[in-house]
Amino acid sequence: MSSKAKQENDYESPAATSNEIVTRPRKVRRQAKCVNTSDRKETDFAEVSRILQLPEMVLLHVFSFLPVEDKCRSSRVCKLFRRLMKDPQLWKSVDLIPCTIRLQALTVFTRRYLSKSLLELSLKGLLWTTAKTSLLSNSFLSELRERCPNLRKFVVLNANLQDIMSSLFPKNVEVLRINYCQVREGWFHSAVEVGNFLNIKCLNITGCGRFTNKDIASLKQMKKLEELNILGCYRLTDQALETIAKDHINLKKLLIGDSDYTNKGILMISQSLKSLRSFTLQNCEFVTGQCLNYILRMTTLEELDISYNPQFNDTHVSMLRKGLPQLKVLRVEEAFAPVQSAGDVNHDDGVQ
């Protein structure tokens, strides 16, 4: 008997002759299992039939919970689904940020599904990847502006906008986010010249390093502006804060940081923005403890963020908590270095 006999389920047991010669094992051919797919098809057909019997209003309500990609896939199931997917009610808010989409595909998608019912549109480009493709073009924006005149919120992330005219952006937009995009200096000027962006209430240009003090000055016509986020715009200085304090006195939320602001800029903000409810001051190394006295003048503050400022310590934070009566949220992530007692605090910084 051979010591290297193989498993019984794969081979027949070796048969020995009268001369004790072990024959070579013969492999048994496995028979494929016969799967009866007819029952499965009948079951699937029955389930689909039950779904198709639902009222169209119910189907539309179910489809409204699907992400964009699943909606597009569902339109290929049957003629009924394709017709229902073109219902404008399903395309009021479109979030394409999770999708990898290029200009050509975006144009086809817009022509097929988007209409006057669109209120919110979010897009994400491939700026920080190796792909050399564009997300937007001037012709696409012109078509979007004509096709979707009621667009109120427009979000663009990681896109190259250097060759894009801001005057072609949706005219009636109220919330505009342009985050981590490449823009040229003076990008807002063309929009200002044609009276665009007059209805903007919330402007977020986080991470757009090309924006300068002149760009902030061009926002003067945005009289309805209530929220402004300029985090990561490292070319801005106290001059930009002076412009904001002068032209946007009705601001309720302001986020600044990652730039060379000083106590002087914080002073101008505290003197002019009397309606400020939320204020963020992050990663500003030239700001000292003196600016906390100016922040204490913002008595209407309900939310304050002074994260990533190691020059502030725990006593500074305690003073802010006691000095701002309406404060509900105070964020100090990695912002302060603990001290042992109040005697260790340098009162020359303006904290008493």
Give how far the C-alpha of residue 302 lies from the chain's centroid of Cα atoms, to the nearest Å.
24
Q: How confident is the model at residue 350 (pLDDT cuts 50, 70, 90)?
A: very low
**Which of 294, 351, 291 lies closest to 318, judged by CA?**
351
What's the token pair of residue 204?
A: 């977020």
Cβ neighbour number for residue 271 with a 10 Å cutoff: 12
25 and 5 Cβ atoms separated by less than 8 Å: yes
What's the token pair of residue 31?
A: 């028979």
pLDDT digits (tens, 9 = 90+) for 123-161: 999 887 777 778 999 999 999 999 999 999 999 999 999
The vertex-51 CA angle with 45 and 53, nearest 5°, equals 105
Paired strand residues for 331: 305
CA 28, CA 298: separation in Å to the nearest integer? Answer: 86
Mean pLDDT of the chain: 84
Paired strand residues for 305: 280, 331
Q: How confident is the model at residue 46 (pLDDT cuts 50, 70, 90)?
A: low
What contacts 150, CB < 8 A, 6 or more positions away?
Answer: 116, 117, 118, 119, 172
174 and 147 Cβ atoms separated by less than 8 Å: no
Paired strand residues for 216: none
CA 124, CA 136: separation in Å to the nearest integer? Answer: 10
Lowest mean pLDDT among 25-29, 84-88, 103-107, 248-252: 25-29
Paired strand residues for 160: 182
* pLDDT of 1 over the 60 cut: no
130-147 exposure pattern, b = at least 16 Cβ within 10 A, e = fewer: eeeebbbeeebbebbbee
What's the token pair of residue 117?
A: 């019912």
CA 347, CA 344: separation in Å to the nearest integer? Answer: 9
CA 202, CA 224: separation in Å to the nearest integer? Answer: 9
Token pair 């002149």 is found at: 214
Residue 216, helix vs strand vs coil: helix
- Summarize the confidence of residues 26-47 as an average pLDDT: 54
- Summarize the confidence of residues 170-185 as an average pLDDT: 94
User: Which residue type sits at 350?
Assistant: G
Q: How confident is the model at residue 53 (pLDDT cuts 50, 70, 90)?
A: confident
- Summarize the confidence of residues 286-293 as an average pLDDT: 93
- Looking at residue 296, its pLDDT comes to 95
- Looking at residue 42, its pLDDT comes to 58
Backbone angles phi, psi at 6, to 5 degrees: -90, 175
- Summarize the confidence of residues 11-25 as an average pLDDT: 44
pTM of structure: 0.79
More confident: 24 or 211:
211
What's the token pair of residue 110?
A: 């817009």
* Four-residue CA torsion sign, 48, 52, 58, 62: positive
- Looking at residue 178, its pLDDT comes to 96
Give how far the C-alpha of residue 254 lies from the chain's centroid of Cα atoms, to the nearest Å.
18
257 and 282 Cβ atoms separated by less than 8 Å: yes
